[in-house]
Amino acid sequence: MKQDWKPGTMIYPLPAILVSCGSTAEEYNLITVAWTGTLCTNPPMCYISVRPERHSYAIIKKNMEFVLNLTTEDMAFATDWCGVRSGRDYDKFEEMRLTPGKATIVSAPIVEESPLNIECRVKEIISLGSHDMFIAEVVNVRADERYLNPQTGKFELSESHPLVYLHGAYYGLGKKIGKFGWSVEKKQ
């Protein structure tokens, strides 16, 4: 038996992302975002949705760039804290002892503690209601070498213990149950 509920956003789990923005150290800020995802492979594009009243909104809109910093279980406290405190009142990098690093292409900083930093340039802003969607092209990806498999050269993101957001709570990932295409692989 199923119940009808009022329309809502119940697509979970989502990555818990720290979005870094700002073009100078004085302007640097972090915002926690779960409304994010992939839009296109070629060119590589993604999005974040941010409420206009958030402090980071004006910074992103002014500079038209940001960095998606994937988070880990070890970063859970900082990820939550950066989502409930305003950059108007706090230097979030300093408060959470996170290290702003130099991105390769964009002016926004990377979070050094993050296993993967995705540098983005905003192409379009769409006003949707409570949130505006920043559609961005991925211009560079920085991967922490600690998670590179020395035998295969493959980036093993699962080894970083990624953090996900599920209906108001943070979780680590569970056990691996398959890989893309495993359901149709030929049996040996």
Question: What is the CA angle 125-170-37, rounded to 5?
Answer: 30
In CATH terms, the superfamily for domain 14-176 is Electron Transport, Fmn-binding Protein; Chain A (2.30.110.10)
Summarised one tens digit per residue, pLDDT across range 39-80 is 999 999 999 999 999 999 999 999 999 999 999 999 999 999
Q: For residues 127 and 112, what is the distance between their CA atoms, to the nearest angstrom?
A: 31
Among the listed residues 130, 87, 128, 89, the one whose alpha carbon sits nearest the alpha carbon of residue 108 = 87
State residue 176's pLDDT score.
85
Q: Which letter, b or e, does each residue of 113-131 get, where b requires 16 or more Cβ atoms within 10 Å of its Cβ?
A: bbbbbbbbbbeebeeeeeb
Summarised one tens digit per residue, pLDDT across range 142-161 is 999 999 999 999 999 999 99
All structural domains of the chain with their residue ranges: 14-176
Among the listed residues 35, 23, 2, the one whose alpha carbon sits nearest the alpha carbon of residue 133 = 35
pTM above 0.85, yes or no: yes
Q: Which helix (H) or strand (E) holds 84?
A: helix 76-84
Of the chain, the percentage scoring pLDDT greater than 70 comes to 100
Question: What is the CA angle 105-111-117, rounded to 5?
Answer: 55
CA distances from 64 to 21, 51, 55, 82, 111 (A): 9, 16, 14, 21, 18
State residue 56's pLDDT score.
97
- In this structure, are residues 82 and 31 in contact, taking their beta carbons and an 8 Å threshold? yes
Mean local confidence (pLDDT), 6-22: 92
Summarised one tens digit per residue, pLDDT across range 114-151 is 999 999 999 999 999 999 999 999 999 999 999 999 99
Of the chain, the percentage scoring pLDDT greater than 90 comes to 86
Mean local confidence (pLDDT), 24-33: 97
Beta partners for residue 186, in sequence order? none
